[in-house]
Structure 1
């Protein structure tokens, strides 16, 4: 129970609650909606998992934009069907990675998101972009990092099977300047079966990706994530 006596108590309590998205306005405490921008290049099944979690009130969040570098990405259709702004941002011929990212950042800054989610975004972000949004970008990788970093799609699942791994899974991590390297937030495990193909393993891991991504966003939106060196401490 929080007991508020005077104006100084309101300021103290408001300051302690702001990290979990609660603010004081017009005589009462209110929860601010956590704003997300999703970057995606493909079908957008992880995007759909976030949309569903918001609809089911598992997440107190709002997707303010979905941005894709691929015109035919089905993720853009998913966004439109759910009343979310869908933005196609193609790379210009001869454009550097950093120049593209600066155009991308201009759009993102207009949306003022609390978090940028890479949900199958098939571009490597420039160091400039990552430095601009420190600890504000998360990515989902279809393996248990640090193993099989840098691989994607069926290639990663094929590599897992060929190596003889008994367990695989997925990782949600903060993005830093190295590929698939930032501090790990959530991991989910999946057994590798003797008769698995890259396709069958990918299908089972994808289900866990949906769970892991929603869980990571929820933890961050609730202010329960603290980064200490390479470790992510969950409160």
Structure 2
């Protein structure tokens, strides 16, 4: 079977990228990460070299998209995960229609426009009862693209521990579900998993079982993230 090709656009430490890399290995999915494109200096070049993944840094601006476009044209990805801290220009989006997806640490459309775990602080300020993560298509409006996959869990702000860790893990699984949905990987899975003793509910179903992501998987991921 020909593997589907995905590319990550990154600005930071690549936690989601590393999760997807190990998830592909764990689940034996027909997916290959063929490129990591950074818009600034990151620590991911070592990770890329270690795992034989193409890596490059480009000077991307919405007004100067050609370098990024050339990289993507060479890599020919089926899915592009954009984690860079910039809005992608319309010409680039139109060159790769419906291929750009993004991860947001909230249940969109709630807390659209906030970056990273700022969403958790806003959710706490408003005392929301459910939080989670969303994988969505990318368009020119920030966090407004079609929702592909979501995971959520009930939260008690006064008593729950490890909320940020649970949001991160829930979001990782949501983007895994989003990638598999986009490239039509169909595998018997589940609507619910347990993370940090929390029942996480996903829609649509995830291509995993409750045994696929036990604690040792996350320990391995954290160790890789801390050492690269």
Q: TM-score under structure 1 normalisation?
A: 0.73
In 2, Cα distance between equivalents of 1:174 and 1:150: 14
**2:44 aligned with 1:81:** no
Measured after TM superposition, the shift of residue 163 of structure 1 is 0.9
Deviations 1:92-144 (A, max 9, x none): xxxx5131x221011110011111112x3211111222222111111000000
Aligned match for 1:44, one of 14, 17, 27:
14
Contact 2:101–2:136 (Cα < 8 Å) also in 1 = yes
Distance 1:163 1:55, change over 3 A: same
Contact 2:39–2:58 (Cα < 8 Å) also in 1 = yes
Aligned match for 1:54, one of 21, 24, 29:
24
SS of the equivalent of 1:187 reads strand
Correspondence for 1:113: 77
**2:169 aligned with 1:207:** yes
Contact 2:104–2:116 (Cα < 8 Å) also in 1 = no
* Unpaired runs of at least 5, structure 2: 187-202, 206-228
Correspondence for 1:229: none
In 2, Cα distance between equivalents of 1:159 and 1:57: 34
Correspondence for 2:62: 97
Correspondence for 2:180: 218
Which has the greater radius of gyration? Answer: 1
**2:135 aligned with 1:172:** yes
**After TM superposition, where is structure 1 displaced by more than 3 Å over at least 4 residues in a row?**
none
Measured after TM superposition, the shift of residue 155 of structure 1 is 1.8
Contact 1:68–1:76 (Cα < 8 Å) also in 2 = no
In 2, Cα distance between equivalents of 1:77 and 1:70: 15
Measured after TM superposition, the shift of residue 220 of structure 1 is 2.0
Measured after TM superposition, the shift of residue 56 of structure 1 is 2.0
* Unpaired runs of at least 5, structure 1: 1-30, 225-231
SS of the equivalent of 1:116 reads strand
In 1, Cα distance between equivalents of 2:66 and 2:50: 28
In 2, Cα distance between equivalents of 1:67 and 1:79: 10
Correspondence for 1:150: 113
In 1, Cα distance between equivalents of 2:118 and 2:22: 28
In 2, Cα distance between equivalents of 1:154 and 1:208: 13
Measured after TM superposition, the shift of residue 165 of structure 1 is 0.5
Distance 1:163 1:116, change over 3 A: same
Quote the RMSD (CA, aligned, Å): 2.3
In 2, Cα distance between equivalents of 1:157 and 1:34: 33
Q: TM-score under structure 2 normalisation?
A: 0.76
